[in-house]
Structure 1
């Protein structure tokens, strides 16, 4: 009987020791699991200024703490907690690497942190541009604007500040028979369909064709009706071989208070060239049949001023202006403005 009691006691003690060991082992195992339950983190998507991450659900986790670090300078960008298993960070700096650290919170205790790295994309540079003016095979003056930018698939541009933006994959634009203006503005930006590349902002370039000034210094004369002198410049363009082309420009400054530029093509055997003024404060005057008989320049000293004729001789040596200063256009005066013959340095890009 005594032996049976002792046997039972020994077995009871053994069972108790085993239960204690199991309990201890279970407790130790639970702590290890909590420490090793680091979430598996990975990047899902990224753009030039944003990154999205996600991580696997951890059993028993009530929430997840995270912190985002910029690898380039070690700066902590964000730090918080969430019950979600994904997170998107925006307004990041392009072309930098970021690390996201995530820990699961189980029973108020954080696990070890899981980590993932991802990089933002790049800002595409604004296009670099150039301009070339030449005579084509038919002897007609052409202007070609060219551009390029690394990483760009397309470009958006607005020429001379008007119209809708043109989207193109081409890297140049040719303007045939370019006689309308003497300089061009091109507002252009780089475009990419890849989210890792940010489209550039538009930048406006002003192009001034290079040419020789033919009789190009200032000439001046004073009109009787005003004390302000009118000044004139006349230019002639260069062709692809560096010789005088058939395109010219005349700029008239302060003619009866107005300034305008006229561009046209030389006409063979012409003795002079008629200039057509245009711009703010200048309007056409027509007779009853619709024929242009002059240009209204407004008033000076309470007198209506109209220009009836503006010509330059074929040698670009003299500008002749006839204007009237009465409503009936009968009181007329003609002035001649000498244009000093002096060729200027084409490298100054004065055209």
Structure 2
């Protein structure tokens, strides 16, 4: 497919998005209906669609879009690309720009932030105008692809050399000694024998760094395990047995296969089967949250989130933290984690636990903000008195 044809495909997918179809589903549907498109074309179209969503406001498509075509034109301009170079009408490219489309839309002061107004206000309140604006700009671009090297099977040098032989270049990430950033051919990573052998997993570098900062000792419970990323990271670092629990069994469907690949001992505890009186020396609580620190990966979230939903997340987090604290043995550790950059989900929850439970002492706190090398994550580690 030519670059222009790819833009035409992007417009098709954005049409579906405007009708309420989630972007991932719209892309899947497009691929099924256009089987002539190769893997490189599908990957390129996916990138174009998600970049348009990340830059929806500066594209002139927020809160409403005049059309998918107009959104696509604005998205190109928002990323410093002249749409006239691609809207040529040649072959399968979109028709040439009409006189009205040639003139770029004027942007308001906040449009280049590519966030909702209330979100901008939240970030300014937390970080000040300059840093908030820097965060907004980071969230306008693709997130890095990171790998976590499994120290139980190999080392970082061996993984880099193995991938390099297959044309996959990586660089070490200073935030964590197990983290590699993929610099080329990221979609080939999971096709390698080294992945099948459990030498590494896909995991954001900040998520790895947070796992390293948890003093995982004794019996370890990953209370909101989800897909098992933190469980795998803790097992890969310590070699310890991990108990993984989540209220949604479906979210844990791949843990056992991933653990077997990595050579880890992870026991899945299904919903309703965790004894309320069970005690653990380390309880890791990766809370459900807005995901604002990872909006680059799921950019639809930053346009759908409401203030009311943020408040609902905060209430849910407190309910979960209270239950988690019941499972922390005397002298044990409670680790609160979110992939959020909102104070309401981070520092305010830290304060809630400190004020509600005098037996908990804050012993460590980390805040990673989205950057070129990793996502935004927050960690607060508490120690329970004996």
Structure 2 length as normaliser, TM-score?
0.19
The answer to which structure, 1 or 2, has the higher relative contact order (CA under 8 A, 6+ apart) is 2
Is the strand fraction higher in 1 or 2? 1
Larger gyration radius, structure 1 or structure 2:
1
Q: Which has the higher helix share?
A: 2
